[in-house]
């Protein structure tokens, strides 16, 4: 396994084509806007080195028997699934934001199921090809970006019907030694901090869409892959150095639009090619895993609830009954989210490939709750924090000889708490509920791993209504006729 320092050194070696604010970023690792997101990923390596977290952060490879980082592991039991949820909460609490590595882990596990199933139906060799790739990822402890979401263009049209065929990533040329693909993947969390990009289809497909039914993996600095960094609220505050106005002064996340401009993929890196029948299965397997992964929001919720408790005390309102009740509600909602991710893991089962997958129904119920509860937790945090969270002056004003004395005097809460401490906690709440971390806590909660409606569709498909009807009829003496 790599250390934190080795991870950073490995990312420095990549020749990524990254753009931000209309200019090429020559050194993404040290760019002040991107760097906090790398710090977050680095925690997945740092915690794996700490003895107290070994059980959660590491696993034993079923391929080699070696100790590996859990983010490269294929789940071999229900216990693995439960530990994944606990690991997500731990890292969310340690970073206070998105640590970006879950999506690659979920892609690996989804592929381990679907490549096996494709081979069983078509007598292909994808599964063995995937296992060789997996061993490479495990041996080198790599960060994988799971790239599923296409731009999609006109949502009313299927991939092959789009006016611009590149709105969904697709194969444009088949060669003896591989394929050439073109398109883009949007909302790519942590892409610039990744060693590998694992591409998957984003929707179920028909035979007419078979050129879009492709899955593969490539080094992230492969020729023709271009990264365009996304904007986040308050992102340029990171240019101000370690100022408290950043809120979270250590960690952050990032999103990118990843363009594939006629990129070559060798056959040994291709895990699906025109098997359109399995595109939907791969999407659903990945989605189930990734909806479980939102245990991370519980960890960020822990941080937000802690900050809210602190600011209530700093404001002198910590003993007010209505404030206590609101914080109880925040904890109730946050722990309910935790119940969901643990439940779908505990009800997981073994697939034909040997990989354990979460309970699909409960994973979707969990994620549906994630689309709602963090917003209410955030609302209550802002309620208790007060308007000063978004109206207070900058740190430079606090430190200014002209204005500092007035800020210390008039922005003081409790007399025994320094004004600066109060301001720091307010900035953290702002960061999580409105600033750069709000992408990873709120917007990701809403749209990550599929829209809220996508989960409702899966709940409708997977809930056993026949059994519910049967149970009701049985109790009133009615014959069950289906």
Active site residue ranges: 98, 102, 189, 255, 290, 294, 296, 444
Q: What CA–CA distance (Å, rounded) separates 22 from 137?
A: 33
Least Cα distance to 247 among 332, 293, 311, 318 occurs for 311
From 373, 396, 382, select the one nearest 425 (Cα to Cα): 382
Q: Can you give the length of the chain in residues?
A: 482
Distance between CA atoms of residues 324 and 344, nearest Å: 31
Terminal-residue alpha carbon distance, the chain: 55
The upper half-sphere exposure of residue 137, i.e. CA atoms within 13 Å in the direction of its Cβ, equals 31
**Half-sphere exposure of residue 461, counting CA atoms within 13 Å on the CB side?**
9
Give the separation between CA 148 and CA 164, rounded to whole angstroms.
19
Helix axes 296-314, 78-95, angle to 10 degrees: 40
Q: Are 350 and 304 spatial neighbours (Cβ–Cβ below 8 Å)?
A: no
Interatomic CA distance for residues 409 and 412, integer angstroms: 6
Rounded to whole angstroms, how far apart are CA atoms 96 and 438?
A: 10
Joined together, the tokens standing for residue 226 give 């271009």
CA distance 289 to 358: 7
SS3 258: strand
Q: Which residues contact 342 (CB under 8 A, 6 or more apart)?
A: 82, 85
- Other beta carbons within 10 Å of 468: 10
Task: Report the C-alpha gap between 385 and 315 in whole angstroms.
Answer: 8
Report the distance separating Cα 475 and Cα 72, nearest Å: 49
3-state secondary structure of 275: coil
Sign (positive or negative) of CA dihedral 439, 441, 447, 450: positive
Burial class (CB in 10 A: 0-12, 13-18, 19+), 332: exposed
Give me 79's structure tokens: 């216990």
Comparing C-alpha atoms, which of 192, 189, 195, 187 is closest to residue 69? 195
Closest CA relative to residue 212, chosen from 282, 123, 143, 137: 282
């Amino acid at each position: 396994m790599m250390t934190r320092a080795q991870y950073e050194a490995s990312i420095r070696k990549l020749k990524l084509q990254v753009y931000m604010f209309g200019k090429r970023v020559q050194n993404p690792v040290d760019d002040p806007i991107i760097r906090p997101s790398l710090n977050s990923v680095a925690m997945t390596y740092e915690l794996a080195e700490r003895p107290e977290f070994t059980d959660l952060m590491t696993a034993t490879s079923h391929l080699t028997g070696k100790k590996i980082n859990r983010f490269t592991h294929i789940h071999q039991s229900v216990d693995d699934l439960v530990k994944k949820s606990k690991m997500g909460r731990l890292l969310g609490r340690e970073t206070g934001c998105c640590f970006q590595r879950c999506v690659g882990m979920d892609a690996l596990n989804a592929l381990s199921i679907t490549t096996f199933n494709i081979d069983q139906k078509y007598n292909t060799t994808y599964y063995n090809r995937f296992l060789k790739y997996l061993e490479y990822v495990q041996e080198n402890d790599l960060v994988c970006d799971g790239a599923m979401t296409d731009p999609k263009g006109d949502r009313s049209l299927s991939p092959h019907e789009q006016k611009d065929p590149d709105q969904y990533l697709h194969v444009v040329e088949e060669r003896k030694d591989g394929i050439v693909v073109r398109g883009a993947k949007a909302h790519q969390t942590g892409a610039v901090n990744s060693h590998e990009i694992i591409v998957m289809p984003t929707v179920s497909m028909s035979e007419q869409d078979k050129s879009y039914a492709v899955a593969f993996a490539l080094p992230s600095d492969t020729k023709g892959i271009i990264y365009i960094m996304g904007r986040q609220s308050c992102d340029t505050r990171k240019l101000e150095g370690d100022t408290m106005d950043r809120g979270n002064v250590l960690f952050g996340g990032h999103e990118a639009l990843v363009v594939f401009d006629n990129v070559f993929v060798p056959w040994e890196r291709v895990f699906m090619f025109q098997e359109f029948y399995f595109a939907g299965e791969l999407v659903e397997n990945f989605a189930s895993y990734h909806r479980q992964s939102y245990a991370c929001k519980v960890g960020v919720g822990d941080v937000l609830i802690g900050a809210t408790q602190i600011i209530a005390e700093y404001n002198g309102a910590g003993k007010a009954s209505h404030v206590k009740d609101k914080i109880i509600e925040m904890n109730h909602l946050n722990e309910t989210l935790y119940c969901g991710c643990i439940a779908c893991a505990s009800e997981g089962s073994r697939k034909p490939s040997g990989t354990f997958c979460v309970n699909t129904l409960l994973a979707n119920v969990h994620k549906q709750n994630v689309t709602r509860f963090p917003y209410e937790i955030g609302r209550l945090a802002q309620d208790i924090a007060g308007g000063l969270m978004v109206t207070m002056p900058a740190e430079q004003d606090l430190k200014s000889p002209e204005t500092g004395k007035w800020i210390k005097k008039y922005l003081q809460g409790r007399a025994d708490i320094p004004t600066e401490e109060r301001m720091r906690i307010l900035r953290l709440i702002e960061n999580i509920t409105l600033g750069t971390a709000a992408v990873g806590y709120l917007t990701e909660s809403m749209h990550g791993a599929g829209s809220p409606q996508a989960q409702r569709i899966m709940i409708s498909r997977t809930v056993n209504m026949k059994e519910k009807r049967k149970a009701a009829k049985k109790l009133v003496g009615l014959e069950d006729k289906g």
